[in-house]
Amino acid sequence: MIKNILTVLGPQHKWQLYLYGFWLIAFAVLQGLAMALLVPLLQALLANDQDALMFWLQVMLFLVLLTSAARYQQTVKGASLALLVLQSLHRRLGDHLTKVPLSWFDNDKVGRLSSSATSGTLMVTNIFAQLLPPVFNGLLTPITVAFTLFVFNWYLGFAALLSMPLIYLMQKQSAYWIAKSEEQVDKASVEASNRVVEFARHQSLFRAFGKSIDSYEPLEQAIIAQSQSSGSMLQQSFPRLLAGGLIIQLVFIGLLTLAIWLHFAAQISAFELIALLALITLFTGPLAEVAGRSGLLRMAMNDLDRLTQLLNEPAQPEVSRSMPYLAPIGTVQFDNVSFAYQRGTPVLNQLSFTMQPQTTTAIVGASGSGKSTITKLLLRFWDVDNGSVKVNGTDVKDLTTSDLMSQVSVVMQEIYLFNDTLEANIRFAKPKAKQQELYRAAELAGVNEIIQRLPDGWQTVIGEGGSTLSGGEKQRVSIARALLKAAPIVILDEATAALDTNNERFLSQSLQQLKDTSTLIVITHQLNTVADADQILVLSEGQVSESGNHAQLLALQGQYAHFWQQLNQTKEWQLTTASTNKELQ
């Protein structure tokens, strides 16, 4: 457990952990000694020995003061450590998640991450705030009391120490089964959480097809499985917890019987019997507390194990320092790149092309041809299986993440805006940008038109995901980000898919501005937006099947010409339909 806690905290905080452990031990031992003093204190009281009574009272008072000081330090250090663990967990999880490859983020792991980052972190902080203190007290205090029993009667001391391994083994077995059952509950909870999020996220689809929570079978089954696993955990843990408590009661009765037998055998006096009976009660009381907390501690340690596993997930390899650029700024090269999301199903197959600085390259092709995969590889969201992806003549693997991202800006079809002001959402691309830069980017992207209708202008909070804006307006904000960042390479990945005529006009204005400063990569299936591109790459089955400008590709009479012909036919059909409808009216 200590190793996992240090993994979470980091080695720089190990002395805080050790100091907390010292105060845990100190409080438990001091408390045990204070309890042990009840024996001579009661002996002096029952024997009416005032001098001995005053002496033991003074010693007890001194120990009580030390115990209180240790308890205070333990509580303060525990609360401080719990807060430190909570902050460290969230910070380290956030940092680490930016370094693991995107291939790691499947549905199961995302659900587990969500569970661990919320309820899991709270359970781990409870280890220090609520679980370790009673467990340490419940183990060390009885040991101290048992050694004290040795001083007064070795029979009772030996019997008490002999009972502790039995109680320990019983509690360990109980905690093991609780932990094992809790793992099943955790798996079922993660699956139920995934299904609930899925059901909430796609409400428009479910409502359109009349699906309620009762008629959506995956969610219903996940909830049933969660309920069954929780019930199974109770069925398995309750008898074992009951057995653990019973063992402690039997130990108490056994020590009580032994003490009474020793009295009748003239081994101890009546005064000593009364004092030892009080000590036996103090011996078994903390053990009962351990029995009640051991299951919770084991569950918290399970959460700690899962969080440690997350932090130990292999990060994507990254150089500590970027290699120098070997080509002009804005150059993009794919050299014999092969890549597959799943083994045996290649998406790109020995793909090669070069994009010169401050030129526009359009990438077109049928769905599934690998267009968007090029974006992911260029941004190094994934690593290639073979070949190399180069930015400014340097392999992206030889660049630090910050250096690579400083060279590239991307505008995607699916845009996420934060629940913050419009200004903060655009500044996200360049937080320290000057106001003039911000206003210029907004003007070129057509965001000024949006600002005029918003109640608080730039300072209007646009809602989670930009809920107060239309799809086209979100796209304008995304383009404003790209303009503000002013990266040498700008990628527009299906950025025109959902734009109306008005928004397309603003996009064209933005592209004209970007052409003067950046290498543009336009990934699209709308050929009318890329006719002016310097270079058009037609992808087919993960390879470049055709390349050239618009006129050259039409002259080839190949796949691009076929796509263009289909586009014109669609336009003619739309015009014909509109004219017919007008005549009918």
Lookup: tokens for 53: 């009574």
Which strands, in side-by-side order, build the sheet including 360-365? 408-412, 489-493, 519-523, 360-365, 535-540, 543-548
Radius of gyration of the chain (CA): 35
Q: CB neighbours (10 Å) of residue 425?
A: 24
Residue 423: the pLDDT is 92
Q: Are strands 519-523 and 348-355 parallel, antiparallel or unpaired?
A: unpaired
Length in residues, the chain: 585
Q: How many CB atoms lie within 10 A of CB 565?
A: 12
Please name the CATH architecture into which domain 332-555 falls.
3-Layer(aba) Sandwich (3.40)
- Domain 2-311, what fold? ABC transporter transmembrane region fold (1.20.1560)
Distance CA 353, CA 371 (A): 13
d(CA 307, CA 97) in angstroms, rounded, equals 12
Structure tokens at 415: 């845009």
Q: What pLDDT is stored for residue 578 in this prediction?
A: 45
What residue ranges do the domains of the chain occupy? 2-311, 332-555
- Name residue, tokens 């100091």: 19
- CB-based burial of residue 582 (10 Å sphere; 0-12 exposed, 13-18 middle, 19+ buried)? exposed
Give the Cα-Cα-Cα angle 458, 462, 466 (nearest 5 degrees).
Answer: 130
| pLDDT score at 211 | 64
Residue whose entry in the numeric block shows the structure tokens 């980000």:
481
Helices 132-152 & 154-201 angle (0-180, nearest 10): 170
**HSE-up (13 A, CA, CB side) for residue 362:** 26
DSSP-derived secondary structure for 401-450: HHHHHHHEEEEESS----SSBHHHHHHTT-TT--HHHHHHHHHHHTHHHH
Specify the amino acid at residue 122. Answer: L
Q: What is the pTM of this model?
A: 0.67
User: Interior CA angle at 423 toward 419 and 424, to 5°?
Assistant: 50
d(CA 254, CA 235): 29
The pLDDT tens digits along the chain (585 residues) read: 667 777 667 777 788 888 888 998 898 888 888 877 877 787 788 778 888 889 988 988 998 899 999 989 988 888 888 888 877 777 877 787 778 877 677 656 666 677 677 777 777 787 887 778 887 877 787 787 777 777 777 787 788 878 877 777 777 777 667 666 766 777 777 677 767 766 766 666 666 666 666 666 777 777 777 777 777 766 766 676 677 677 777 887 888 888 888 878 877 777 677 777 777 777 777 777 776 677 677 777 777 887 888 888 888 888 889 999 999 999 999 999 999 988 878 899 999 999 999 999 999 888 888 888 998 899 998 899 999 999 999 999 999 988 999 999 888 877 888 889 999 999 998 888 899 999 988 888 888 888 988 899 999 998 877 888 888 888 888 888 888 888 999 998 876 655 566 666 666 777 777 788 889 999 887 777 788 889 999 998 888 999 999 999 999 998 888 888 877 766 555 545 444 444 444
How many Å apart are CA 134 and CA 155, to the nearest integer? 28
Q: Residue ranges of the alpha helices (H) in 98-131?
A: 107-115, 121-126
> What is the distance between the alpha carbons of residues 279 and 141, in angstroms, rounded to a whole number?
11
Helical H segments across 312-434, by residue range: 371-378, 401-407, 422-427
Give the model confidence (pLDDT) of 62-107 as tens digits.
988 999 999 899 888 888 888 888 777 778 777 877 788 776 776 5
Rounded to 5°, angle at Cα 467 from 462 and 468: 55
pLDDT of residue 580: 44
How far is CA 448 from its chain centroid? 37
